[in-house]
Amino acid sequence: MSAASPGLPRRRFEVWQLLSLPFILFISIPIIALFLRITPANLWATLQQEGVQQAIRLSLTTSLTTVLITLVFGTPVALQLSIRQGRFNRLLDSLIDLPIVMPPAVVGVALLVAFGRRGLLGDTLTLLGISLPFTQAAVIMAQTFIAAPLYIKAAKLGFSSVDIELKKAAAMDGASRWQLFRFVIAPMSWMALLSGCVLTWARALGEFGATLIFAGNFPGRTQTMPLAIYLGFEVELNVALTLSAILILISFVTLIVVKEFLHSRVETSLAANDY
Amino acid sequence: MTAPPLYWIRKDYLRMKTALFTTATLVLLILACAGIVAPGQSFTATPPLTITVMAAASLSESFQELGRQFEAQHPGVRVEFNFAGSHQLAQQLAQGAPADVFASANQDQMDSAVRAVRVAGSSVHIFAHNQLAVIYPSNNPADLVELHDLGRPGLKLVIAAQEVPAGHYSLEMLEKASQDPSFSPLFKEAVLQNVVSYENNVKSVLAKVALGEADAGIVYTSDVNDQVGQIAIPEALNVTAAYPIAAIQDSAHADLAGAFVELVLSSAGQNVLQKYGFIPVTP
C-alpha cells in the first residue's frame, strides 16, 4: 500500500507530460526552423540595411506609444469594469473583448470606414484639417484598437482582486477617489497592470492586417516590422527571416523577463505574508 | 457540516456539464450549417480532381471566368485559384507550394520559377499584354486632368511596391516621362514625393483609390472598373507588360494543367482576356 500510493500520482504525471508533447513540439518546431535558417553573418548584414533599421525603429516607437495611450485611456475603462456590475457592464465587457477575436483585416476596413477620408467621421476630420490614413497616427490607432483590450482585461482582473474591505476601510478613513486609486488600488494591482502592458506591447508589435489596410505601406512612415516581413517574404527572404527572428526574440525575452520578475515578486510577497 | 460544500460542488459540476453540453451543441450546429451551406467543402466529399492555378492579382476577374469555362468543359474538375502579387507566388513556388499552373505579370517572376525548377523554360508562353493607367476616385477630389498633375505637390498617390511588377512598371513609366521633353526632368521625383503608400499588390492600389482614400493610383488598364475614373497615359510613355503562363512541371495533373494553358491561349480564352481590358496576343 505505502509503496503503491506514491507511485500512482507519479505515473499519472508522466501521462500528462506525454500528452502535452505534441502541442509543445507543434509550437517550438516552426520557431526553431526559423532560427536554423539564419546565419549570424546574414543577420548582421540585414541589420545594416536602412530599410530594416527604419522598420525596427518605427515598430518600437509606434508600439510604445500604443502602450502609453492604452495606459491613459484603458485604465479608466478597466476601473469601471472592475467596480460596476450589471447588464450594461457585461455588454461593455464583451465589447472590449471583440477586437481580440475580430480578424485584423476587418479592423482595418472598419477603421477606414470610420476614420477614412470618405468614412463616417471623414468630413469632420477633413474640416479640422486631419487626415489619418497613411500616417503614423493610423498605425498607432490600428495597434491600439487590437492590442489595448489585452491590457484592459488584465487590469480589470487586477483591480477586481483588491479586497473590497480594504477599499471600504480607506474610504472610511477619508480617502478621496483619487487617493483610493493612487494609494490602495494601484499599488495592489500594479503587477497585473504591468503584465497587461507587456501583452499589449507584444501584440501591438506584431500587428499586421489592420495596419496594412488602414495605414498602408510606406518605408519609414507606416512600414512596421510585420509589414516589412510580408514584403520581404516576396522579395528577399533574408530580410523576412531576420526581422521575424528579431520579433520573436524581442517578444520571447520580454515575456520571460516579465514572468520571472512577476514570479519573484509573488514569491516574496507570499513569503512576507507567511511571517 | 459537510452538506453545504457538497451542495456547491454538485451545483458547479452540473453547471460545467451544462456549459460543455451547450458548447458542444453549438459547435455541432455550426459544423452542420457549414456542411449544408457550403457543400463540396471539407466536410463533404471533394470532387475527384482539383487543379490549382497561381495567377497574378491583376488576373483575378478574367481567370475566374476562364476557370468557370474550364470547369464547364471538363466535368468533375475544379479549378482553384491563388491570386497574389507575382513575387509572392514565385516565392511560394520556390518554397515548394503545390500548384499546376503559374501565370505571372512579368517575365522576371516566371524566370525565378524556372530557376527554382518548377517550370520548364521551354513551356513558357506569353498570353496577354497589359498597359498602365492612372486612376482617381469617382469624385476626383484632386481634379486630375492629365498625367502632369501627378507631380502636383500635396497629391495623395498610391502605387504598387517596386518589388511587384505593377510597381516596377510604374517607376519605368515615370522615368520615361521624366526624359520626355514635354515633362520636367524632375517629374519622377515630384511624383514619388506624393506617394503615401506602396501597396503589396495592384488590387490594393485599386481598393485604396476606389475607397477615396487616395487621390490617384497607378494600376493596369485591365484593373480599371466603373468605381474609378481614368487618365490616359500617352502611348509613347506607357509601358507594356507581357504576361507569361506555364504549366508547373511537377504537376500531378499535367494533362489538365496543359489543357488550362491551352484554353488561355485559345481564341475563346483571348476573348475573355480582351473583355477584361487585356491586349490579346493573337488578335
pLDDT in tens, A43-69: 888 888 888 889 999 999 999 999 999
User: Are A234 and B158 in contact (CB < 8 Å)?
Assistant: no
User: Are A237 and B156 in contact (CB < 8 Å)?
Assistant: no
User: Are A217 and B87 in contact (CB < 8 Å)?
Assistant: no
Decide the pairing of beta strands B101-103 and B49-56: parallel
Which chain A residues are Cβ-neighbours of B197 within 8 angstroms? 134, 215-218, 222
Beta-sheet strand order (sheet of B125-130): B77-84, B49-56, B101-103, B241-247, B125-130, B279-280
DSSP B35: H
Could you count the other beta carbons within 10 Å of the beta carbon of residue B241?
26
Nearest to B163 among A133, A134, A235 (CB): A235
* The three three-digit cell numbers of residue B193, written as one number: 514625393
Specify whether the CB–CB gap between B164 and B201 falls below 8 A.
yes
Asked if residue A270 has pLDDT above 70, the reply is: no
Question: pLDDT value at position A92?
Answer: 92
Nearest to B199 among A118, A217, A233 (CB): A217
pLDDT in tens, B185-234: 999 999 999 999 999 888 899 999 998 999 999 999 988 988 999 998 99
- Residue percentage of chain B with pLDDT more than 90: 58
Q: Cα distance from B89 to chain A (closest Cα, Å)?
A: 8
Confidence class for position B39, pLDDT limits 50, 70, 90: very low
What single-letter amino acid sits at A165?
E
- Nearest alpha carbon to residue A232 among B206, B21, B87, B24: B87
Asked if residue A275 has pLDDT above 50, the reply is: no
Which chain A residues are Cβ-neighbours of B158 within 8 angstroms? 216
Q: Cα distance from B45 to chain A (closest Cα, Å)?
A: 28
Nearest to A112 among B91, B156, B213 (CB): B213
pLDDT in tens, A70-93: 999 999 999 899 887 788 888 999
Instruction: Give SS3 for B102.
Output: strand
> Left, alpha or beta for B140 (phi > 0: left; psi -120 to 50: alpha)?
left
Cα gap A210→A108, rounded to integer Å? 4
B200 contact A CB<8A:
yes
Higher-pLDDT residue of A256 and A232 is A256
Decide the pairing of beta strands B228-231 and B195-199: unpaired
A75 contact B CB<8A:
no
Decide the pairing of beta strands B279-280 and B125-130: antiparallel
Residue A261, burial from CB neighbour count under 10 angstroms (0-12, 13-18, 19+): middle
Which chain B residues are Cβ-neighbours of A237 within 8 angstroms? 91
A33 contact B CB<8A:
no
Mean pLDDT of chain A: 85
Higher-pLDDT residue of B41 and A199 is A199
- Nearest alpha carbon to residue A126 among A116, A135, A112: A116
CA distances from B56 to A64, B130, B242, B265 (A): 37, 12, 12, 16
- Residue percentage of chain B with pLDDT more than 70: 89
**Quick one: CA dihedral B107, B113, B114, B119, positive or negative?**
negative
Specify whether the CB–CB gap between B173 and B132 falls below 8 A.
yes
Mean pLDDT score, A163-173: 82
Question: pLDDT value at position B2?
Answer: 45
User: Are B213 and A212 in contact (CB < 8 Å)?
Assistant: no
What single-letter amino acid sits at B6?
L
B232 contact A CB<8A:
no
User: Are A118 and B213 in contact (CB < 8 Å)?
Assistant: yes
Asked if residue A4 has pLDDT above 50, the reply is: no
pLDDT in tens, A210-244: 999 999 999 888 999 999 888 766 567 778 888 89
∠ CA A104-A109-A114 to the nearest 5 degrees?
120
A224-253 residues touching B, CB cutoff 8 A: 230-231, 233-235, 237
Question: pLDDT value at position A142?
Answer: 97
Architecture, CATH, for domain A51-274 = Orthogonal Bundle (1.10)
Buried b (16+ CB within 10 A) or exposed e, B130-160: bbbbbbbbeeebbebeebbbbbbeebbbbbb
pLDDT in tens, B116-148: 899 998 999 999 999 999 999 999 999 999 999
pLDDT in tens, A188-207: 888 889 889 998 999 999 99
pLDDT in tens, B144-174: 999 999 999 999 999 999 888 889 999 999 9
What single-letter amino acid sits at B134?
V
Specify whether the CB–CB gap between A116 and B213 falls below 8 A.
yes
Confidence class for position A168, pLDDT limits 50, 70, 90: confident
- Residue percentage of chain A with pLDDT more than 90: 39
User: Are B200 and A112 in contact (CB < 8 Å)?
Assistant: no
Interface test with B, best of A113, A211, A223, A235 (most B CBs within 10 A): A235
